[in-house]
Amino acid sequence: MFGGLFNYDNPIWRGIGKFWDVLIVNILWFICSIPIFTIGASTTALYYVTLRLVRDEDGYTFRSFFHSFKENFKQATIIWFLMILVGGVLCVDVWFVLMSGRISRGPVQMLLSSIFLGLLIIWFLVFTYVFAVLARFYGSVRRILFNALFMSMRHILYTVGIIAIDALIIFLTFTYLPFLSAFGVALIAYVNSFFMNRIFKKYSPPEERDIHEMRPVFADEEEEEKPQTEHDPAEQ
């Protein structure tokens, strides 16, 4: 009985191990995000670790985090700046239209408000998925962004669940359970990874030869002549 209790494969010990992994990766994310422009790479590395955790893949948290951080730094940074730029522009546009509507509300203001709010929702859907997609799949920046939007809309029920649970975690952190702040963004990424892992399985080949590496969901144009190793979401 005691041998089973102190066996590392015991569910209790594995749970404790994941508890510390989430805590550690949150610290790594925070430290590596301090320069601000590295937040994209840090978030991608964060999802790389949490996606592995929910798949019960053994590995070293530090090594996995910095492997992804280095591997995806360029693309993640480009995507981060694009998302911030587009999000900032859309927020300014929505604010401007809403303020204009207070002065003279008309069909033009209503139309513009609907358009910009719709674009802001699309931006939010992409932002919710994009770094997890980058952590799991290879592809050009354009394709990663498209895949994030495609998956978020195709699996809208999962998306709604992700957003609702994220909002609940944030609410509890700032109200009744402040100790959750110790797990910070990593807790949200870990919970999201349960949903996203189920989604990503649909676009991965049944025989993943190397579970330690990321694989492309779309091939880049220059790779079109190479054998495809992933399903194309747009074809399903």
d(Cα 118, Cα 5) in Å, to the nearest integer? 53
DSSP 221: G
Top pLDDT among 64 and 96 is at: 64
Whether the predicted pLDDT of 187 surpasses 80: yes
Report the pLDDT value the prediction gives residue 60, as an integer from 0 to 100: 87
Q: What is the mean pLDDT of residues 179-202?
A: 95
pLDDT tens figures, 93-137:
888 887 876 656 678 778 888 899 999 999 999 999 999 999 999
Cα–Cα distance between 28 and 102 in angstroms, integer? 45
- The mean pLDDT value for 56-63 works out to 85
pLDDT of residue 233 exceeding 80: no
Average pLDDT over residues 16-43: 95
Query: Whole-model pTM?
Result: 0.84
Query: What letter represents residue 4's amino acid?
Result: G
Indicate the range of 22-36, 98-112, 158-172 predicted with least confidence: 98-112
Percent of the chain with pLDDT over 90: 65
